[in-house]
Structure 1
């Protein structure tokens, strides 16, 4: 048989009276009326089927049952306070998921933190859109930077964050190293090495659509040993790859970035949030991202057809 369901407010009032010995002083400490304290104690005694206090000229003293209950009451209040404190710590920090701390999205997080120096922000990394639905739905993170492909659940909202122009990354000994810019159409027939293009990822999908539009081949052979190995391999001069203009790839004296033009492909990144997450700090971050977004000229830039509606670009090449 289940016992009574205790009212935490009544238990807190009981502990306050046990400490203060006067209903009026307990009420003042709790910020409620003395009548409210009396009602809470009456309900608690009714729920427990016990008399917890007896009144004397010196105040309210604990009965034997009240003294026995006090230890448990203090534990209940203490656990409740700890739970509130832990929840508060978690919710004070804005948890933002970025694909990698070298990509352009981290700059938006940094600029927001500079603008609101009091903001407590936790940056986490995952695998982009593939984990965003679950992590946002379960409240593990507040916002995810990712390319929003395909229909999102109605519970999620995608806010355009930025469009990042791409450059061709080559070694100094590569035949293209002397170019100041490179026409994207001239990629036709070339092989571009991208070992980090994981199958099923939204970024691999972007480059697959770009390859189909401009006639080049994507080589995803690895292994993928990280940014330093990637740059060192390109520096050897045999392979070419892509680099975002705002991505902080490791510096290497033997690599060159050549802007892609006519049109310039732009990687689209969105800020994805849960519509039911109404935290003030999150809404401020969303507005910060909105205010910093600048659309690119559609006559000079290329996007996959599926990204154009979200980023408000009319249909052009591709």
Structure 2
């Protein structure tokens, strides 16, 4: 058997992590057709199917057995290169999901710094971007710097990257659907469903603190209606699609979404800015001060210079975050 093609192995792991060939193509910076060709080449070489053709992105039993070894192979390959050419290793930045504002802000940076070698590490609700930084899987992480079940180790630095105003998403038949904007007081009579906040996390603490401040009832149960399928899973992007479908069909439920979150299109959803005050999620860029990756200083400088702190005075954020975000 010929040696395995590392690019094909990387494509395989990325498809599993992203759950879809199209998302993997975006992460790898290649076309979906190129991803498919790499997977086909690897399957031909191994003589087995790695993905269930009926469910895109779901590995077969053979693919599942191969996955941990494929991950180890990529780590070994990357570390081999980094041992002699550290400047060639990508700057790894962890984010919570591919639809999040942080992912989009990194792509904005790359569009303006095309020579930069930055790799997005997509985490999830159970292994967060903060976890990726602490474990050494990432050189930096976008996350709220406070809250969560596992406080950040002392010594980790944080700079304010982005205050993300929250919007209220409702179905077209919701009593507030016709408003151009709403206040927290307007929202109080109506339940807001945020199933992702059921997982102990820094964002769950954020929503709890906002509920205490505003009096808004924030529900985190996975099933807000009889017979509904649970709407939260490790794949946060797919889970949000289910939440949005449920909101669109309801005349009473609502949910929150950041203004930088790339929500799927739904003609029956209305997006309402929240004002007086505007709740904003505090995204910080976190890093280890001992990190010597040459691409880290310019990356930090970009986000330090582009922080939208001019909106801070009109926003509500938890008091514990004020010293960093202003």
The equivalent residue for 2:183 is 183
The equivalent residue for 1:208 is 208
CA offsets, 1:197-250, max 9 Å, x none?
Answer: 133211111111000111111111212251221111111023111111111111
SS in 2 for 1:174: coil
**Contact 2:123 / 2:132 at 8 angstroms: preserved in 1?**
no
**Contact 2:94 / 2:121 at 8 angstroms: preserved in 1?**
yes
The equivalent residue for 1:236 is 249
Measure how far apart 1:195 and its partner are. Answer: 1.2
**Contact 2:94 / 2:132 at 8 angstroms: preserved in 1?**
no
CA offsets, 1:147-197, max 9 Å, x none?
Answer: 000564332101111001111100011111100110122222431101111
SS in 2 for 1:114: helix
Gaps of 5+ in 1: 1-81, 313-318
Measure how far apart 1:84 and its partner are. Answer: 5.1
Distance 1:98-1:300 versus aligned 2 partners, 3 A rule: same
The equivalent residue for 2:304 is 290
Q: Distance in 2 between matches of 1:186 and 1:287?
A: 39
Distance 1:198-1:249 versus aligned 2 partners, 3 A rule: same
Tell me the C-alpha RMSD between the 2 structures: 2.4
Indicate which of 105, 127, 149 corresponds to 1:108.
105
Moved more, 175-184 or 197-206: 197-206
**Contact 1:95 / 1:142 at 8 angstroms: preserved in 2?**
yes
Moved more, 148-157 or 298-307: 148-157
Q: Distance in 1 between matches of 2:79 and 2:166?
A: 47
The equivalent residue for 1:85 is 81
Distance 1:143-1:227 versus aligned 2 partners, 3 A rule: same
Q: Distance in 2 between matches of 1:236 and 1:83?
A: 49
Indicate which of 237, 259, 263 corresponds to 1:249.
263
**Contact 1:128 / 1:145 at 8 angstroms: preserved in 2?**
no
The equivalent residue for 1:162 is 162
The equivalent residue for 2:284 is 270
Q: Distance in 1 between matches of 2:196 and 2:132?
A: 22
Q: Distance in 1 between matches of 2:156 and 2:201?
A: 19
Going by fraction, where is strand more abundant, 1 or 2?
Answer: 1
Q: Distance in 2 between matches of 1:229 and 1:131?
A: 21
The equivalent residue for 2:231 is 224
Moved more, 128-137 or 91-100: 128-137
| Equivalent residue runs for 1:127-146 within 5 Å | 127=124, 131-132=128-129, 135-146=132-143
CA offsets, 1:281-304, max 9 Å, x none?
Answer: 011111111111021445422111
Distance 1:83-1:179 versus aligned 2 partners, 3 A rule: closer
Query: Rg: which structure is higher?
Result: 1
Gaps of 5+ in 2: 1-77, 223-229, 233-238
Number of residue equivalences: 232
Distance 1:130-1:208 versus aligned 2 partners, 3 A rule: farther
Which TM-score applies when normalising by structure 2?
0.66
Q: Distance in 1 between matches of 2:87 and 2:153?
A: 25
